[in-house]
Structure 1
Amino acid sequence: MWRALPLPARGVQASVIIPAKDEAVNLPATLAALAAQTDLHGQALLPHSFEVLVLANNCLDHTAHVVREFAARHPRLRLHIAEVTLPKEQAHVGQARRLLMDEACRRLEQGGHPRAFIASTDADTRVSPTWLISIAAELATGVDAVGGRILMDNADPTCPVRRCQLRDAAYYLLRARLEDHLDPAPYDPWPRHHQHFGANLALTTRAYRHVGGLPVVPYLEDEALVQRLVHHDLHLRHSPAVKVYTSGRQQGRVAVGLSWQLRQWAELQQAQREPLVDNPQRLQAEWQLRAQLRRLWKQHSAGTLRALPAYPTATGLSRAALRREITRAGSFGQLWEKIRGRFLVQCCGCWPAVPLSVAIRMLREQVAALESSPPVAAGHLCI
C-alpha cells in the first residue's frame, strides 16, 4: 500500500495523517490549509519539516485523483496518497487511522527527528495557519500528546442545533474548569479545554510506540487512544492555541462522531427535549476521590506511604484492600481505572443525569464557590 512512497525527508518533524472516504469535495480545502502552514511570525514552514499522508479507503468517488491533482499543483507540499479497499469488517475509520498512524510513525522514525510527532486531522476539516507550529510548541514543554480545539466551520449561531452545541461546549468547558480546581494537572494548566478527538490530535512517536498504537475499533478510536495514554500515565495537553475548523454535516462517515451528535441534538430539538448529561455533583465527588488517590500514589511511588489515612469509602475497599490495589498497579492510570469502576458502582443511582441547562447552572455555582473560597487542606471523601 505504501511501498511506492519516496523516503521521508531527513529530519522531518511531523507527519499529518488524513483518513478519507469519498471526500473529493472536501479535501481541497483541507489540503490547502496544510499547504499554507506558517510559523508564529507568518513565515511559511520549511517544506521538508512535515509531510501529509492521505489514505483513500473504499472510495466510490475521485478522492485519490483529487489528492494527486492537488499535489501536482503544490510541489512544495510533501503530500502522499495511498488507496486501499478494506474488507467489510475492517472498513471503518479506526482501521484507516491505525494504518495511517503506523505508517506515519515508521516514516518519522526513519527521518530521525528527536521530537517527531504524528498529527491527526479529518478530510472535512481546515487546520489553522499555525496549527503545526502550535502543536510543536506544546510538545516542547514535555507533554506526550496534544488535543486541540475543534470549532465549527461557518456555523450559523441562530440554528437550533448550533445553540445546543454551544450550550454543550459551555458545559464541558465548565467541567474542565471544575476539574482543574479539584484535581489540577501541572502539564495541562488552565486555560484548557475538553477535546481530544481525531480531527485535532497529536502525539509523539515515542508515546505512540509506548501505548502500542491506535486501538482498532469501528469508531471513537481517538477516545480509545487517549485512554491508553492515561492508562500509561502519559501527559495530554488540551491546548486552546491548537485550532481546527470542521464541517457541520449531519451525514458523516462514522457511526458515532460529530455528525451523529448533531443528528441527536436535532432530534431532541424537534421533540422539544433537553440532552441529559453527567451530574456535576457526581463529577465533583469523582475528581475529589481521584485527587486523594493521586496523593497516595505519589507517596507510594516515593516510598513514603506508611499507614493509609481514613480510607475513602467511595472506593468500596478496606484499607488493606486499597493498599493491595496501590501496590499491584503499574501506573496511576491503571489504579484509577479500577477504582473509578468501583466508585461508579458505589454511587449508582446517587446522582442521576440532569438536563443540560441544569448542569450548566450547577457547574457555575460549584466553580464560583471554589473560586471565592480560600484554599483549604484536602480532606477525605466519604460517601
Structure 2
Amino acid sequence: MEGDCLAAILNFSLKEENCGTGQPVPVLIAPPPLPHTQVSVIVPVRNEADTLAETLLALANQVDFADHPLDFKGYEVLVFANNCTDDSAAIARRFAQQHPRFQLHVVEQTLPEGEAHIGRVRRMLMDEAHRRLTWLGAQPGIIASTDGDSRVDRRWIAAILYEIACGADAVGGRTVTDRAERAALDKATKAAYLRFVGYRYLIKQLEDCLDPDPFDRAPHHYQFFGANFAVTHTMYAQAGGMPLVQTSEDVAFYRAVVKLGAKVRHSMLMRVTTSARPQGRAPLGLADRLSQFQVLGQRQESFLVESAAAVEAKLLARHHLRRYWMQAASAPPRPALASQRLTQLAGWLAVPLADLHQAIEQSVTVGELFQQVEQHQQTLGAWQQRWAAVPIEVAIADLRLRLNQRRSRGPRGKLRPAAGC
C-alpha cells in the first residue's frame, strides 16, 4: 500500500499538462490532490503579511448554505508567495501546521524581475490547479481565484459549487472593499469610488432592459475580478489558460471565455471583501483606480466616463446585431433585406460595412462578434468622435432618467429594446 502511494505521488509530480497553451507546465506542488477534491483555490501573494492570516482563516472556515462546515477533502488552497520580502510565506506555512486537516499548499519562489508580475503568477497557479484537477480524471473540477489581501465570504465555495451546478462555465463574484479601509479614505476619494460603482450598476440595469444576457439574468452585477472568480477546469483549458499579460489578466481572461461563448454568471451569492488601499501591488487594479480618484479629488476635477446616450445607443445596436447574427445563422435573410439591415447596423455602430460583414462571417460566437466590433470602434475612433466623454455625475443622472423613462413608459422610436423592461 505504501509503495502504491509513493508511486502515485512520484507519477503525479512528474506529470505535466499544457492547459491548452501549448507550453509545458512546471510542477509547483508534488503531493497529489485528495481524490474527492472538487475545487482548487489559488491565492497569489506578495508581501501580504498583514492580511494573509485572515485570508486563510476565511478559506478554512467555509460552510454550506445550511451553515454546516465544508469537508476539507472537497477543496484545496494553493498559495504562491511571489518575491516576498516579508513573512508571508512563513505565515502561510505556520497556518498549515496549525490546521493540519486543511488542504493548504504553499509555494515560495523568487521570479526574475521581468516575470514577477500578477499575470505570470496567477497563470502559474491556475495552470497548476488545472494540472491537479485533470490528474483526478473524469470528475469535473473548478479553479477558483482570490487574493492575499482579500477575505472570501463563509459560503464562497458553496456559492461557486451552486453556480457551476446551475450551468455556468465561469463565475464572477461580487467584490466589495473593506469597510474600515474605505472609511479611512478621504471624502472625495470615497465619494468618487461609490459613484463609479453606482455608474457601473446603472449600466448593468440598462443592459437588462435593452440587451439582456440569455444566461446571466438579474439579480447580478458587473464584476469579474482576480480576487473573486471561478471557472471549470475544462473551460480554462478551452480558453487557452490565463493570458500572459503583466496586468488586468482577469479582464483578459474574461474576454477569452466570453469569446468562446461560455456561460458566464455574475453571482451575487459569491462575495469577497478586498483591500481599499490606494497603493497596491499590481498596476491598473483597484488601488490604482482609488489613487486616480484621490488625485482628481485633490484637483477638484470630475472623472470622465461614457455618456448615458452612448451606453444606450451601444446596447440597442448590440441587441439588434445579436438578433441579426442569430437569425442569419439559422435562416439567412433575403440578400436585399440583409444588405439594408447590415448598412443600418454599420451606421449605428460607426463601423465600416465591409468590416461589419467580415466580423459577422468570421465570428463563431456572438461574444466574439461583439469583441470584433469593439476592436474596430477603438481602432477607427469614429464611435469616440460621435460620443464625447462626460463627467460621471452627469452620466449617472442621465442613466437614472433613461431607466425611469423606459420602466414607466416603455420604449419609443424605431429602435426597440429587448422584452422585459
Decide: shared fold, TM above 0.5. yes
- Is the contact made by 1:146 and 1:196 (CA closer than 8 Å) also made in structure 2? yes
Q: Percent identity?
A: 39
Instruction: Report the Cα offset of residue 340 of structure 1.
Output: 2.6
1:137 and 2:162 matched: yes
Candidates 271, 290, 304, aligned match of 2:318 = 290
Equivalences for 1:327-342 in 2 at 5 Å? 327-342=361-376
Deviates more, 1:121-130 or 1:316-325: 316-325
Partners in 1 of 2:219 and 2:71 — Cα distance? 30
Candidates 111, 134, 137, aligned match of 1:109 = 134
Give CA deviations for 1:17-38 in whole Å, capped at 9, x if unaligned: 0111111221100000000000
Q: Which runs of 5+ in 1 are unaligned?
A: none
One-letter code aligned to 1:244: V
- Is the contact made by 1:55 and 1:83 (CA closer than 8 Å) also made in structure 2? yes
* C-alpha RMSD of matched pairs (Å): 2.1
Partners in 2 of 1:246 and 1:165 — Cα distance? 14
Partners in 1 of 2:357 and 2:416 — Cα distance? 16
One-letter code aligned to 1:147: G
2:389 match: 353
Candidates 208, 211, 214, aligned match of 2:236 = 208
- Is the contact made by 2:350 and 2:383 (CA closer than 8 Å) also made in structure 1? no
Give CA deviations for 1:3-27 in whole Å, capped at 9, x if unaligned: 5531111131101101111112211
- Is the contact made by 2:49 and 2:86 (CA closer than 8 Å) also made in structure 1? yes
1:368 match: 404
Give the count of matched residue pairs.
Answer: 381
Structure 2 SS opposite 1:347: helix
Equivalences for 1:65-84 in 2 at 5 Å? 65-84=90-109
Instruction: Report the Cα offset of residue 379 of structure 1.
Output: 3.5
Deviates more, 1:25-34 or 1:228-237: 228-237
One-letter code aligned to 2:236: Y
Give CA deviations for 1:228-256 in whole Å, capped at 9, x if unaligned: 11211112111111101011112211122
1:56 and 2:103 matched: no
Structure 2 SS opposite 1:199: coil
Shift in alpha-carbon separation, 1:42–1:93, aligned structure 2, 3 A? same
Partners in 1 of 2:306 and 2:350 — Cα distance? 21
Partners in 2 of 1:26 and 1:316 — Cα distance? 47
Structure 2 SS opposite 1:198: coil
Shift in alpha-carbon separation, 1:297–1:169, aligned structure 2, 3 A? same
Partners in 1 of 2:333 and 2:277 — Cα distance? 52
Equivalences for 1:259-274 in 2 at 5 Å? 259-274=287-302
1:325 and 2:359 matched: yes
- Is the contact made by 1:13 and 1:113 (CA closer than 8 Å) also made in structure 2? no
- Is the contact made by 2:349 and 2:383 (CA closer than 8 Å) also made in structure 1? no
- Is the contact made by 1:182 and 1:291 (CA closer than 8 Å) also made in structure 2? yes
1:156 match: 183
Shift in alpha-carbon separation, 1:4–1:368, aligned structure 2, 3 A? closer
- Is the contact made by 1:274 and 1:355 (CA closer than 8 Å) also made in structure 2? yes
Q: Which runs of 5+ in 2 are unaligned?
A: 1-25
Partners in 2 of 1:350 and 1:375 — Cα distance? 23
Instruction: Report the Cα offset of residue 273 of structure 1.
Output: 1.6
2:16 match: none
Equivalences for 1:228-307 in 2 at 5 Å? 228-307=256-335
1:86 match: 111
Candidates 23, 39, 43, aligned match of 2:64 = 39
TM-score with structure 2 length normalisation?
0.85
